[in-house]
Chain A
Amino acid sequence: EDKVVQSPLSLVVHEGDTVTLNCSYEVTNFRSLLWYKQEKKAPTFLFMLTSSGIEKKSGRLSSILDKKELFSILNITATQTGDSAIYLCAPRGGGSNYKLTFGKGTLLTVNP
């Protein structure tokens, strides 16, 4: 059965801090891993990673994938209160395994 474990489950930091969110996974026919930010309802897309070692960046956010060790990390530098959200990691399979498998997410709270 496909499995995703995210850590920590929750994290409280002050504005300006740097955070690292972890995601380990086991997915049949792994093809890619997606990161989402969920504030109230719709998870909003952040990154899709398909290759090991290639860091994806978007402003203060960056992510990297290790397909050998089956994990990914999401880094957020110079955190802002607007970064407060649940961060979801979702690996996706291939072949006949089309679904995204989600962990419980990491609840990030950034205090001013």
Chain B
Amino acid sequence: DAGVTQSPTHLIKTRGQQVTLRCSPKSGHDTVSWYQQALGQGPQFIFQYYEEEERQRGNFPDRFSGHQYPNYSSELNVNALLLGDSALYLCASSDWQGRPQGTIYFGEGSWLTVV
């Protein structure tokens, strides 16, 4: 049973560029959330997707956008990259339909460096 998988694992981008990060949730999970974790900080909630809709959003600018596909996989897009966007981006999945308070599992993350 595959867990949460994310790609790419590492990437380097230049200021002003755009990036797309991808996530496949754990088998049987229908809800995907994205978190940003800067060095020395806990993960910060970006947004959550359920049934292909953004259900909740954290305090992030609209340069951060996402998408969920019918197979529950998800993308995080960041436009006009800033140096401060350098962080570990974590995808988390859970089974909302079955258990609204079910366990949330995290992927290995994508390390983004903006230079």
Among residues of B, the one whose C-beta sits closest to the C-beta of A99 is: B45
Residues in B whose Cβ lies below 8 Å from that of A103: 42
Query: On chain B, which size bracket covers the interface?
Result: 20 to 34
- Interface mask (A46-65 → B, CB under 8 Å = 1, otherwise 0): 00101000000000000000
Q: Is B81's beta carbon under 8 Å from chain A?
A: no
Q: How far is the CA of A17 from the CA of B40 in the complex (A)?
A: 25
Among residues of B, the one whose C-beta sits closest to the C-beta of A48 is: B103
Among residues of B, the one whose C-beta sits closest to the C-beta of A89 is: B42
Residues in A whose Cβ lies below 8 Å from that of B107: 42
Query: On chain A, which size bracket covers the interface?
Result: 20 to 34
Contact assessment for B43 and A43 in the assembled complex, using a CB-CB cutoff below 8 Å: yes
Interface, chain B (partner A; CB < 8 A): 4, 33, 35, 40-45, 48, 55-56, 58, 88, 90, 92, 100-101, 103-109
Interface, chain A (partner B; CB < 8 A): 4, 31-32, 34, 36, 41-45, 48, 50, 88, 90, 92, 94, 96-105
11 other A-B residue contacts (CB within 8 Å) besides A36-B106, A99-B48, A101-B45: A41-B109, A42-B4, A42-B90, A42-B107, A42-B108, A43-B90, A45-B104, A45-B105, A48-B101, A103-B42, A104-B42
